[in-house]
Amino acid sequence: MRVLSGIQPTGNLHLGNYLGAIRNWVKMQDEMDADSQCFFFLADMHSITVHEERTQRLKNVREMAAALIAAGIDPDRSVLFNQARVPAHAELAWLLNGTARIGWLNRMTQFKDKAGKNREGASVGLFVYPVLQAADVLLYQATHVPVGEDQKQHLELTRDIAVKFNTDFGVDLFTLPDPIIPKETARIMSLRDGTSKMSKSDPSDMSRINLTDDDDTIASKVRKAKTDPDPLPETMADLVGRPEASNLVGIFSALTGESGDSVCARFAGQGFGAFKPALANVLVESLRPIRQRFEALKNDNTALDAILLKGAEKASAAARPTLLGAYEALGLMR
């Protein structure tokens, strides 16, 4: 089993990233046997589809590496690297552009969402980045890829590209990856709007809990989180139609491992004046160790670069046979 996943280095992680993805990465890492391996990368090449200053991109990559390590990714047990240090990603993406079809890319809903009405003004990279995503996965013969609902379409495209390449050139080069969709992945919503996902792009910092927030900031954000005037019911089923209340109970449940029904039963009949302080305490105690590890790491550029370079060397060695196989299949002399 070989698991691969990447994350864009677009600033600090927030609670939604941690509970929705990173915590599951750590769990997979910890459950791997001796014959299995996890590859986790910072998708800095994907990040160039949006303009960003050089110094900010460098800072974001290092800080994201520090955040992942602080959250539990162990560079000695998993391969942690930044994409740009492994040129095979860009090389294979170009080779796969000959196999991918414009019609396939036109169906990608994320491009439509991100380009919006400015489709003609969007970068070519934003249109073709699903091909780079396919290269990211196929390079390492990944058998499994953790995906959210918004990425399932891109993994299906990856499989389509792999099948067409293998068929067109009569090879069995690329492994067809299967999605990992954890049954109990937490879907964390905005603290200001329970119908929208918690996001880095939300202009209001009060909408999210950042993993870098201090104890007082976390408590303040929970205290000011949007709720409703009704008390908590006996079960989660009774929270239907109350998105903000359901979100806060869901966060409590995800952090403690307690079922949503159990949380509701414990606080049934009580208002948010009683529930919010308990939630804030759980958040503070859960996130404080991560924040402390992050603060100790984030400014040690030498150590972070050494970790990413070591990971890139491992990744490059793993990717090389697949890249050479693609060149050979295409009749391109190296």
Which residue's entry shows tokens 């009569």?
A: 170
User: Is residue 117 annotated as a catalytic residue, yes or no?
Assistant: no
Residues in CB range of 293: below 8 A, 6 or more apart: 69, 70
HEC per residue, the chain: CEEEEEECCCCCCEHHHHHHHHHHHHHHHHHCCCCCEEEEEECCCHHHHCCCCHHHHHHHHHHHHHHHHHHCCCCCCCEEEEHHHCCHHHHHHHHHHCCCCHHHHHCCHHHHHHHCCCHHHCCHHHHHHHHHHHHHHHCCCCCEEECCHHHHHHHHHHHHHHHHHHHHCCCCCCCCCEEECCCCCCCCECCCCCCCECCCCCCCHHHCCECCCCHHHHHHHHHHCCCCCCCCCCCHHHHCCCHHHHHHHHHHHHHHCCCHHHHHHHHCCCCHHHHHHHHHHHHHHHHHHHHHHHHHHCCCHHHHHHHHHHHHHHHHHHHHHHHHHHHHHHCCCC
Q: Which of 59, 164, 197, 310 is catalytic?
A: 197
For residues 107 and 153, give the distance between their C-alpha atoms in angstroms, rounded to a whole number. Answer: 9
User: Is residue 200 annotated as a catalytic residue, yes or no?
Assistant: yes
Q: Which of 27, 59, 112, 114 is catalytic?
A: 114
For the chain, the C-alpha Rg in angstroms (whole number) is 21
Our CA dihedral for 84, 85, 88, 91, rounded to 10 degrees, sits at 40
Q: Which of 200, 226, 310, 314 is catalytic?
A: 200
Token reading at 292: 């402390």
User: Is residue 221 annotated as a catalytic residue, yes or no?
Assistant: no
**Looking at the annotation, which residues are catalytic?**
114, 197, 200
